[in-house]
Structure 1
Amino acid sequence: MPYFSVIIPVYNRPDEVRDLLESLSNQTSYDFEILLVEDGSTLPCRSVANDYSEKLDIHYYYKENEGRSIARNYGMEKASGEYFIFFDSDCVIPESYFEIVRKELDRNYADCFGGPDKAHESFSDIQKAINYSMTSFLTTGGIRGGKMQLEKFTPRTFNMGFSRKVFESVGGFREMFSEDIDMSTRIRQAGFSIRLIRPAYVYHKRRTSLKLFCRQIYIFGMSRISLYLLYPDTLKIVHLLPAAFVLGSLAMIIASFFWPYAILPLLFYLLAIFAVSLFSNKNLKIAALSVITSVIQLGGYGIGFMKAFFLKILLGRGRDETEEIRLRKGK
């Protein structure tokens, strides 16, 4: 019986699943099974799973479309391992990942862990720029396992694991935006230990276009208010920074029409993003794109945050949604 059960929800991503399974087939430790849960896809990946059936202990399930959280819970119900690990279908896993995680858990066990993400050399320039903006200390990237922690570490489901005991005690994921933050919060509140295993990183492709990235990050900002209504003590100063960026940038742009030097702080900040990205990626195009993706990351989140604050808190429209989420049992 494998120690780890890897649970992967999938929706219309056969090509990404192939890359993910290929990386899993090259691990230095194979003490894991894979549960691939197809969430009502119209482009199923069954044939891809079959291609790797002789290389991996893989179990393919097809179910009606109910959302990624329900798909993960379905996988946990079918799992046989003692420790569940979650990847998104757009991840590629370094070959020593499971060897590192098992050694770290043997050395310093935690009921729940998470790891950071990086950009693989094969990723597109936009993907690398998005990865930079989502992990840089110059944005709010530190909260996702970067070198500078801006809040208490919260595992995300692109690279997250917890024990069977956690599942049996806390339940599964609830179908909502930012369901991984909700799950991590419930795990911590239940008294289980959570830690960051920094060497256990994954390559995360994220979105493939600026439009999709903007939409995703806007939803993240909206969902932060939903999380605040569920857990008021989880809202930190770092979550206010994107909104401050939006309001501050707007104020500097307006003031620059009357005093040109008012725009300088914003320009220096964008220049710093460019310089650090250039140093990290050694590529002028990626550095330039990083400025754009960082503005989208902060601006999209900030706008979503402020809109949700106005609608759900000031106008009181978040009460029914919050109560509905609380009634979901994560089954």
Structure 2
Amino acid sequence: MFNRPKEVEELLESLVAQTFLDDFEVLIIEDGSTEKSEDAIAKYKKRLRLRYFFKENSGAGASRNFGMQKASGNYYIILDSDVILPKHYLSEIKEILESAFTDAFGGPDAAHTSFTTLQKAINYAMTAVLTTGGIRGKKSSVVKFQPRSFNFGLSKAAFEKTGGFSRMKNGEDIDLTFRLWQKGFETQLIERAFVYHKRRASVQQFLEQTYGFGTARPLLNKKYPQTAKLTYWFPSLFIIGLYASLIVVFFGYPQTLGFYCLYFFTIFLDSLLQNRNLKVAFLSIIATYIQFLGYGLGYLKSQFLSKNTGF
């Protein structure tokens, strides 16, 4: 966690509200924050079995590994500090793991009714079948699920055998998933174990975030060439095609741009049906464009210009 005292308080409040009856501990890892969360956390120390650690800034992956090394349990759940848990979250995980155990799992993210319109639009862009193919939690859209670090479960045995998260700044969760598979561990999607992912984001922050995601994928492709797919090029080709279609309009060829207009109109309608809000639907168009732009540019730079492997 880095500089998120308000968000971590909301997360802890949602942990207090869990219907889960078994004992569990909560570890808060403060990764060199300048806005410390000690005061926000203090009020929960009598309500949760809570342990707080402050360490020098070393990045998200190293902080998660630090937390798992300090934890006393045999199964870890890694959460971003900007998530809020539904009250049945832990109970759903226990039920599924008792009936179909895997050493790692992931869950989807959703938008809470209290989120801003921009946060809801970003959630749509990140999770919709029309934008990402539903890879972040639509079970029918995936064969082998790749958990994301904002909502990631990992057994102690799997952590010890893989060493946990790598030093990658972006894509470290996907990297861990690939190493889990290499070591013979299975992953699964627990659809009912969703979180409300708040994403404290402006348009600029979302662009920077998706740019980082884009830079990570070519590095993962080089490290795990068997996982590379042509579909990873789609955001880059989408943006190149969009700008090319804008140029050829001036030469009397508007047809290609029409396809893009139809796509964005479909995004508007789909988001409107899901969110029942005109402003969210309009912002979903912008969020989708920003997502493709950031990821596409990051992918191209990493593919052709970057010499740093990041590992």
TM-score by length of 1: 0.90
Cα separation, 2, equivalents of 1:22 and 1:91: 11
Residues 133 and 141 of structure 1 are in contact (CA less than 8 Å); yes or no, is this contact kept in structure 2?
no
Residues 268 and 285 of structure 2 are in contact (CA less than 8 Å); yes or no, is this contact kept in structure 1?
yes
Equivalent position SS for 2:196: strand
Residues 189 and 300 of structure 1, relative CA distance in 2, 3 Å threshold: same
How much has 1:32 moved relative to structure 2?
A: 1.6
The corresponding residue for 2:197 is 204
TM-score by length of 2: 0.96
The corresponding residue for 2:4 is 13
How much has 1:152 moved relative to structure 2?
A: 3.2
How much has 1:235 moved relative to structure 2?
A: 1.6
Q: Deviations over 1:65-91 (max 9, x none)?
A: 111111111111111111000000000
Q: Deviations over 1:157-210 (max 9, x none)?
A: 100101101011111211212111111111111100111111110000124210
Superposed counterparts of 1:76-91, under 5 Å: 76-91=68-83
How much has 1:141 moved relative to structure 2?
A: 4.8
Q: Which moved more, 1:129-138 or 1:180-189?
A: 180-189
Cα separation, 2, equivalents of 1:275 and 1:231: 37
Question: Alignment partner for residue 305 of structure 1, among 291, 295, 299?
Answer: 299
- State the superposition RMSD in angstroms: 1.3
Residues 140 and 150 of structure 1 are in contact (CA less than 8 Å); yes or no, is this contact kept in structure 2?
no
How many residues align? The count is: 308
Residues 174 and 302 of structure 1, relative CA distance in 2, 3 Å threshold: same
Q: Deviations over 1:205-259 (max 9, x none)?
A: 1242101000110111011111112111122233111112112212222222222
Residues 134 and 141 of structure 1 are in contact (CA less than 8 Å); yes or no, is this contact kept in structure 2?
no
One-letter amino acid of the counterpart of residue 34, structure 1: V
Cα separation, 2, equivalents of 1:169 and 1:260: 56
The corresponding residue for 1:240 is 233
Q: Which moved more, 1:61-70 or 1:275-284?
A: 61-70
The corresponding residue for 1:29 is 20
Cα separation, 2, equivalents of 1:99 and 1:71: 26
Where does structure 1 lack aligned partners over 5 or more consecutive residues?
1-9, 326-331
Cα separation, 2, equivalents of 1:108 and 1:152: 15
Where does structure 2 lack aligned partners over 5 or more consecutive residues?
none
Equivalent position SS for 2:207: helix
Cα separation, 2, equivalents of 1:231 and 1:32: 36
One-letter amino acid of the counterpart of residue 212, structure 1: Q
- Percent identical: 46
Question: Alignment partner for residue 183 of structure 2, among 161, 165, 190?
Answer: 190
One-letter amino acid of the counterpart of residue 5, structure 2: P
> Runs (4+) of structure 1 moved beyond 6 Å?
none
Equivalent position SS for 1:241: helix
Question: Alignment partner for residue 258 of structure 2, among 241, 260, 264?
Answer: 264
Residues 125 and 171 of structure 1, relative CA distance in 2, 3 Å threshold: same
Equivalent position SS for 1:38: strand
Equivalent position SS for 2:305: helix
The corresponding residue for 1:139 is 131
One-letter amino acid of the counterpart of residue 164, structure 1: K
The corresponding residue for 2:116 is 124
Equivalent position SS for 2:29: strand
Cα separation, 2, equivalents of 1:141 and 1:25: 34
How much has 1:262 moved relative to structure 2?
A: 2.9
Equivalent position SS for 2:134: helix
Cα separation, 1, equivalents of 2:270 and 2:8: 32
Residues 221 and 302 of structure 1 are in contact (CA less than 8 Å); yes or no, is this contact kept in structure 2?
yes
